[in-house]
Each structure stands twice: as structure tokens, then as C-alpha cells.
Amino acid sequence: MTKYSLAVDIGASSGRLILGHVENGKLQLNEIHRFDNNIVKRNEHFCWDIEALFQEIKVGINKCNELNIKPESIGIDTWAVDFVLLDENDNLLTDAVAYRDPRTDGIMEEVFEIMSKEKLYLETGIQFQKFNTIYQLFALKKKSPEVIDKAKSFLMIPEYLNFLLTGKKANEYTNATSTQLVNAFTKQWDYELLAKLGINKEMFLEIQPPKEVVGTLSEELVSEFGFDMKVVLPATHDTGSAVISVPEIEETVYLSSGTWSLIGVENHFPICVPKALKYNFTNEGGLDYRFRFLKNIMGLWMIQEVKRNYHDNYSFAEFVTLAEKEKNFQSFVNVDDDRFLKPENMVKEIQQYCQQTNQQIPLTPGQIAKCVYDSLANSYKRAINEIEEIFEKSFSRINVIGGGCQNEMLNQMIANVTNKEVCAGPIEATAIGNLVVQLMALEEVEDIQQARALIKNSFEVKTYKPQYVRG
Ligand SMILES: Nc1ncnc2c1ncn2[C@@H]1O[C@H](COP(=O)(O)OP(=O)(O)O)[C@@H](O)[C@H]1O
Ligand SMILES: C[C@H](O)[C@H](O)[C@@H](O)C(=O)COP(=O)(O)O
Ligand SMILES: [Mg+2]
């Protein structure tokens, strides 16, 4: 009998539920539900509407009944770093505050007074993003120490959604590493660091690796859906799941291209050398305790905000078409400037940056989009140069995965500026990585090697060769 698994992949801009099963040696996908994921304002903070997200998950699960499919398992992955705290009665003590909220402004520097940046990096190997969980918790402790003291459970977003499904609580390794509170070598919570920060360690649970089963659905949900499922821990950090889907990981730089651009390589040990710190690379956890040596680049968030600024009058595909008509326009912004993390108006922010740097100011939607794409491609080139400097080797291939791999113009730009071959796909890399870990838990797939072979055999990737562009 065919065994189906259900992946719930919620990125920072959109969520999707995708059924997966193996048939004729290929992983067959069926997207059964898709929804927007928008930041909302609550109690003066930018937050995720976690209740709405859980309702969307339930809508998606119920659609299985319309298909007369009862999945064996479900697995949830989302963006990193964000969390909720529960009290002794498992009631929410906090909103699901979003990492783009300004509550962590200036906090990183305060933490460095307790533990130096260098020591923090040597112990955790995690990149310095001002919104890392460590800084969110320190900010919360400063503003509302009573909340931190009352907290009995720390759950990251996928883990809280698992709790709503099962009543069970578990912290998962790949996402836990994004907090900058896990020791890269022990792979456990860094209790000494927590003590120094005055954060109670009791609320952190034993870290579990991907493939573990959290539990099964609550009785209430079984009666609501009409069937039960195993709730499996995929790599619950979405990028952790995405990287599993890179079919040819050796000699490859992956670019997980979605709201964020996560660019890096797969490693089997953490690299915390001074140059990695200087270039702000991270060592986030991967499947089977691999490491994702990567860095965050602002990503397609910028074009998402541009789209919103133009009142959604243009689709993502239309922005590409408009940009292609502006081949002679070329201005660049530093995409990783904090000013682009959550500006009032992205279009104006980009125009102001170009004016302040004495460049041609993009005025049309096509010129704005071209500026974003050119700037992202340049940032990717710089990151790849840094990776090759650290590894003292050249990488021959770039694999773009995620929604952004549909941007053919950007794929070609990346090939041209890096002078490397670009492979694009799979689009739903995160959900695919989520699914294959569930299939491993169900013993349908043996290991990551077999999973990658299955993925290679199941999904087309499009190749882009460097082209000489007339100056
Ligand atoms: N048809 C398309 N053409 C070009 N770019 C696209 C297309 N569809 C989606 N994208 C890009 O993919 C991005 C979303 O990627 P996705 O991986 O779904 O994001 P996330 O997981 O962060 O929500 C969009 O911001 C957009 O820039
Ligand atoms: C805030 C984190 O850096 C972010 O979650 C990143 O790690 C990530 O995974 C983003 O994934 P998207 O699919 O939302 O781009
Ligand atoms: Mg994503």
C-alpha cells in the first residue's frame, strides 16, 4: 500500500502543505494547500499570526480527506530563530514575535559585554544576526524578567505547532542551532552561556535530531480529521530541510533562494576560524549532525516588499519581465545593509541609497527590480569568493533551490557574475527535504545518500552557463 507523508513548509512569506510518496523510483509531490504568511502588529511588536498558521495547517490536513488519502506522517518546518514561551500550565506567555521586530536593536552589543563576540563564535559557530534568539531572549529578560522567570517551556515555531498537534514538546537540533545558544561541539544547549545571560535553563528541553517522532495527533484532532498521523521531526529549520534536497552536494555551493538568500556549503565539522567570523558565516546544524556553513543575504524579501509597495500590481514573473527590459540600467545597493531589513517603503529606501551613493536612481518598477537582482547577484558573488578563500578551493557549481530558482534572469546573472555553472531547482526543495526525512523515519528511505539519489531522479534542474555580456 502506498505510504504518503505530508510536509508543512512555512517560510517567511508563504506556507504550503505538500503530500509526497515514492512511485516508480520517483518522489511524487502533490501541493494540496498554499497560504500567505504575513507579519502582524500585536502589543506594539511585529509578530507572526501563529493561530492563523495553525488554522491553515488544519485546512490543509482536512484536504487529504477530499483526496481520500490518509498520510502516515506529517512534519513541520519553518523559518528559524523565533519562539514562544509557555508557563507551567502550557499556556502562552508570549506572542510569536517576528525576527524583524526592532526589540533586539542594540542588544547584541550588550551581550558582548557578558561574553565577547569571539568567544561566542568559538563556542557556537553561529553568524551574528541581531535577531538571533539569544538576543531576543536577552531583550525579553530586560523588558519583562517576570516572563522569563515564569517560563517552563521554550518552543520554536515548528515545535509550538507540533505541540498544538500532539500536546508533546520537543526542541529539534537544526533549528536549535540557529538560536546561537547551542554549543557547536557538544551539540547541546550551552548552559554556561545561559547562566551568564541570566536565562533560566530549565525551560529548554533535551535537543532531538531530525527523524525523531514527537508523537501522534491529539484525540481531539483525530476525531476532527478522521485519521491519525505520526508527527515526525524533519530538519525543522526550513533551510536545514532545503539543503537536504541538493542532489549533488559535493563541490556545490547551494543558494536557498526565498525570502532570505542562504548561500553556503555542506560540511562535517564546524568552522569557527577568524576568517569565518570576519565574513560572518554560520555553522547551523544539519541532518546527521552535518553543518550548514552558510551566510544570510537579505534575499527576495526585497522584491516581496517592492511588490507590496506597488500594491501587488505586478507578479514576481512580471517584475522579471520588466527588469529584462532595463538591461542598460545598472545601480547597486548593499543588500545586507540593516536599512533593508524592515524599511517603511523598500522602493524609497532603494532610491535613497542610490541617490546617497551618487548612482542613477531607479524610477520604474523594472529599474527597481533590476537594481535588486543585480545587487543580489553581486552579493552572492562576494559570498562565494569568501567561501573559496576560507576553503582555499574553487567550487564548480552553484545550485539555486527554492522559489527564487524560478527567476531565470537572476539565475543567468549569477552565472555571469560568478563565471560558474548555475543549476536551478528543485523549487520546493524545503518541502522535499522535509518529506525525505519523514520517509527515513518511516523506513521508506534508508539515508541521506539514498534520499539525494531519489531527488536527483525525481526533479529536473535547469542549467545556466556563464555568458559574456557586452559592456
Ligand atoms: N514565477 C516566479 N518568477 C520569479 N520569481 C519567483 C516566481 N515565483 C516565486 N518567485 C520568487 O520566489 C520567492 C519566494 O520563494 P519561497 O521559497 O516560496 O519563499 P519562502 O519559503 O521564504 O516563503 C518570491 O519572493 C519570488 O521572488
Ligand atoms: C531568520 C533566519 O535567518 C531565516 O529563518 C533563515 O534561516 C531562513 O531559513 C529563511 O527561510 P525562508 O524560506 O523564509 O527564506
Ligand atoms: Mg522557504
Atom in ligand 1 nearest the alpha carbon of residue 9: 21
Mean pLDDT in residue range 327-344: 97
pLDDT surpasses 90 at 1? no
Q: CB under 8 Å to 302, separation ≥6 — which residues?
A: 335, 340, 346, 350, 372, 376
Mean pLDDT in residue range 215-233: 98
Q: How far is the CA of 359 from the centre of ligand 3 (A)?
A: 32
Alpha carbon distances (Å) from 360 to 327, 363, 371, 471: 14, 9, 10, 17
- Cα(167)–Cα(165) distance, integer angstroms: 6
Burial track 430-462 (b if 16+ CB lie within 10 A, e otherwise): bbbbbbbbbbbbbebbeebeebbebbeebbebe
Mean pLDDT in residue range 113-130: 98
**What pLDDT sits at residue 362?**
98
Cβ < 6 Å from ligand 1: which residues?
A: 11-14, 258-259, 300, 303-304, 316-317, 320, 402-404, 406-407
Mean pLDDT in residue range 379-401: 97
User: What domains appear along the chain, each with residue ranges and CATH number?
Assistant: 5-232 (3.30.420.40), 248-425 (3.30.420.40)
Q: How far is the CA of 38 from the centre of ligand 2 (A)?
A: 14
- Which residue carries 517552563 as its cell? 152
DSSP 312: T
Q: What residues are labeled active site? A: 238
- Cα(273)–Cα(277) distance, integer angstroms: 7
Ligand lying closest to the C-alpha of residue 427: 1
pLDDT surpasses 90 at 446? yes
Mean pLDDT in residue range 378-389: 98
**What pLDDT sits at residue 470?**
62
pLDDT 10s digits, 89-116: 999 999 999 999 999 999 999 999 999 9
DSSP 303: H
**What pLDDT sits at residue 2?**
85
**What pLDDT sits at residue 122?**
97
Ligand lying closest to the C-alpha of residue 428: 1
The mean pLDDT value of the chain amounts to: 97
Mean pLDDT in residue range 401-413: 98
User: 315: annotated binding-site residue?
Assistant: no
Alpha carbon distances (Å) from 263 to 272, 281, 399, 469: 17, 10, 10, 24
Atom in ligand 1 nearest the alpha carbon of residue 407: 4
pLDDT 10s digits, 37-60: 999 999 999 999 999 999 999 999
Cβ < 6 Å from ligand 2: which residues?
A: 11-12, 79-81, 99, 238-239, 258-260, 262, 296
Mean pLDDT in residue range 31-41: 97
pLDDT surpasses 90 at 469? no
Residues surrounding ion ligand 3 at CB below 5 Å:
11, 238, 258, 430
Top mutation candidate among 76, 79, 135 for ligand 2, by most atoms within 8 Å of CB: 79
pLDDT surpasses 80 at 235? yes
pLDDT 10s digits, 306-334: 999 999 999 999 999 999 999 999 999 99
pLDDT surpasses 70 at 343? yes
Q: How far is the CA of 168 from the centre of ligand 2 (A)?
A: 25
**What pLDDT sits at residue 471?**
53
**What pLDDT sits at residue 250?**
92
**One-letter amino acid for residue 188 of the chain:** Q
Task: Please say whether the beta carbons of 22 and 28 come within 8 A.
Answer: yes
**What pLDDT sits at residue 468?**
80
pTM of the model: 0.97
Mean pLDDT in residue range 275-292: 98
Top mutation candidate among 9, 10, 13, 409 for ligand 1, by most atoms within 8 Å of CB: 13
Task: Please say whether the beta carbons of 273 and 308 come within 8 A.
Answer: no
pLDDT 10s digits, 157-207: 999 999 999 999 999 999 999 999 999 999 999 999 999 999 999 999 999
Q: How far is the CA of 437 from the centre of ligand 2 (A)?
A: 19
